[in-house]
Amino acid sequence: MHLQLLGYFASVLIATSLLMRSIVRLRIINLCGAATFSVYGFLIGAYPVGILNMMTATINIVQLIRLRRRREFFRILEISPRAEYLRYFIDFERDEIRKFFPRFEYNAEETGVALFVLRDLIPAGLLLGHIEGDRLDIQLDYASAQFRDMKIGRYLFSDRIDYFAERGIRTIVSSADSEVHAAYLLRMGFVADRDGKTYRLAVRPAA
């Protein structure tokens, strides 16, 4: 009975992996499922099942190493808040955006900064905001589903923080409408205000 449960669990993991949009998550979950199925196969004496899934797990490990080592190219592309492509992108991603930013409504008149983050020339992330003095208030900080591995955030708020400093920005302010987004902001170096909903990132002046 316990072995059957192990087999069912492995099946659920493999099926779940196929639902992932992120290739990294797909590989990781599929690796866990294949490894579990391999153990299950050997335990019940089904050696072809065990060997096949062991090979699948090995392939997943190799591919994850390749993905980790692969060099990607990022670039910030500033566009007009009134650009037609920006409207199209927001409309296309609207349902996904509302999962993390349920109160977001695009208004070109209130948006002063519109930045796409290109990842190997693919528009993978979008940051919208407006500037008041030396402060940037973020309205939207979004990454498409297949690119939600923190790399876009680290590129914007760490690797290219000078982009904001060179434009006279000294503080970046964001709010969090969900625990997931709050955790993301903390990982990016933001510090929570006392209200627990507003997060600030200090921007060092460019040298």
> Do 84 and 129 belong together in one domain?
yes
Asked if residue 207 has pLDDT above 60, the reply is: no
pLDDT of residue 72: 85
Which of 13, 40, 69 terminates a domain? The answer is 69
Question: Closest by alpha carbon to 142, among 164, 121, 125?
Answer: 125
Which of 22, 37, 69 terminates a domain? The answer is 69
pLDDT of residue 3: 79
Q: pLDDT digit string (tens) for 82-120?
A: 999 999 999 999 999 998 888 899 988 888 899 999 999
- pLDDT mean over 140-160: 92
Most confident range, picked from 115-119, 148-152, 174-178, 196-200: 115-119
pLDDT of residue 69: 77
> Do 145 and 65 belong together in one domain?
no
Q: pLDDT digit string (tens) for 63-82?
A: 888 887 777 899 999 999 99
Looking at residue 205, what DSSP letter applies?
P
What Å distances lie between residue 23 and 17, 29, 72, 122, 148, CA to CA?
A: 9, 10, 15, 16, 10
Sign of CA dihedral 192, 196, 199, 202: negative
In terms of residue numbers, what domain contains 159? 74-202
Asked if residue 206 has pLDDT above 60, the reply is: no
Assigned domain for 207 exists: no
> Do 44 and 121 belong together in one domain?
no
What Å distances lie between residue 178 and 103, 122, 159, 185, CA to CA?
A: 11, 27, 25, 11
Number of domains in the chain: 2
Q: pLDDT digit string (tens) for 46-64?
A: 889 899 999 999 999 998 8
Assigned domain for 191 exists: yes
Paired tokens of 45: 């004496």
Residue type, 189: G
Residue corresponding to tokens 């493999």: 14
Sign of CA dihedral 183, 184, 190, 194: negative
The CA distance from 37 to 19, in Å, is 18
